[in-house]
């Protein structure tokens, strides 16, 4: 179906753009970023977009999660991302969304920066690492849904990044980067209740400015 043949209203287009930014998202999460105020409207929109071939529904997860199809990426003006994602990677995206929503409930200026944004400034995000931007500056988000060791927190801050030369020219005027160069706070979100105390104790012991939060795992395999 060609993009010119599609008739999409503003709220539906905003949903598509949200999926493009987040990669994988549940209906509840789409509702948070949508101008609409009821889940039934989101359900109707996602069902319609799946029928139009713009969204793909991962329906063996409950709740369902959605991502753009090749046609959806083209409609939104982005290059198609052909890589395959594992279930843990999809889960990580959904938990990152949940963490961002929690933070935005307290400060609506908080947003997760895209991977491409980080690459342009010489950073190379590793697994479960996300750069946050808000009115008061940058912070680091770590999403622990894989039984992360507390020591990973300090390692993430001090790890030297190997820039992607497609986005960043490394020369004498562009030193090796570390997250600690630009962030002043670390937010750790974990799906393991027992890990909250361990992570809190670790950041206190290391003198790291940050906080630890529990988030409920979003889904189970249906």
Burial class (CB in 10 A: 0-12, 13-18, 19+), 159: middle
Percent of residues, the chain, with pLDDT higher than 90: 73
The pTM for the full model equals 0.91
Structure tokens belonging to residue 112: 């997760």
What is the pLDDT at residue 175? 76
Gap between the Cα atoms of 180 and 115, Å rounded: 17
The 10s digit of each residue's pLDDT in 29-50 is 999 999 888 999 999 999 999 9
14 Cβ contact partners less than 8 Å away, ≥ 6 residues apart: 33, 34, 35
Query: For every residue of 73-111, which 3-state class applies, written as one string?
Result: HHHHCCCCCCCCCCHHHHHHHHHHHHHHHHHHHHCCCCE
As a whole number, the mean pLDDT across the chain is 91
What is the pLDDT at residue 83? 66
Gap between the Cα atoms of 126 and 116, Å rounded: 13
Gap between the Cα atoms of 63 and 85, Å rounded: 18
What is the pLDDT at residue 85? 83
* Cα torsion through 36, 39, 42, 43, rounded to 10: -160
Question: Hey, what domains does the chain have and what are their CATH numbers?
Answer: 3-84 (1.10.10.10), 88-221 (no CATH)
Gap between the Cα atoms of 100 and 105, Å rounded: 9
The 10s digit of each residue's pLDDT in 146-168 is 999 999 999 999 999 988 888 88
Nearest to 121 by CA among 164, 59, 58, 77: 164
CB atoms within 10 A of CB 37: 8
């Amino acid at each position: 179906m060609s993009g010119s043949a599609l008739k999409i209203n503003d709220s539906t287009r905003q949903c598509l753009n949200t999926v493009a930014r987040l990669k994988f998202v549940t209906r509840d999460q789409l509702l948070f970023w949508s101008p609409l105020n009821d889940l039934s409207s989101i359900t109707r929109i996602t069902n319609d977009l799946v029928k139009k071939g713009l969204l793909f529904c991962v329906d063996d997860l409950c709740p369902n999660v959605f991502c753009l199809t090749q046609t959806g990426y083209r409609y939104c003006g982005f290059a198609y991302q052909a890589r395959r994602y594992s279930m843990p990677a999809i889960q990580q995206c959904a938990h990152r969304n949940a963490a961002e929503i929690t933070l935005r409930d307290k400060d609506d200026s908080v947003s997760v920066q895209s991977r491409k944004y980080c690459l342009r400034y010489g950073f190379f995000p590793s697994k479960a690492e996300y750069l946050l931007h808000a009115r008061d500056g940058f912070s680091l988000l770590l999403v622990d849904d894989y039984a992360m060791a507390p020591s990973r927190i300090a390692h993430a801050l001090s790890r030297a990044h190997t820039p992607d030369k497609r986005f960043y020219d490394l020369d004498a005027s562009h030193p090796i980067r570390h997250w600690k160069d630009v962030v002043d706070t670390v937010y750790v979100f974990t799906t393991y209740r027992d890990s909250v105390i361990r992570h809190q104790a670790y950041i206190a012991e290391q003198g790291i400015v940050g906080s630890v939060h529990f988030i409920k795992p979003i889904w189970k395999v249906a």
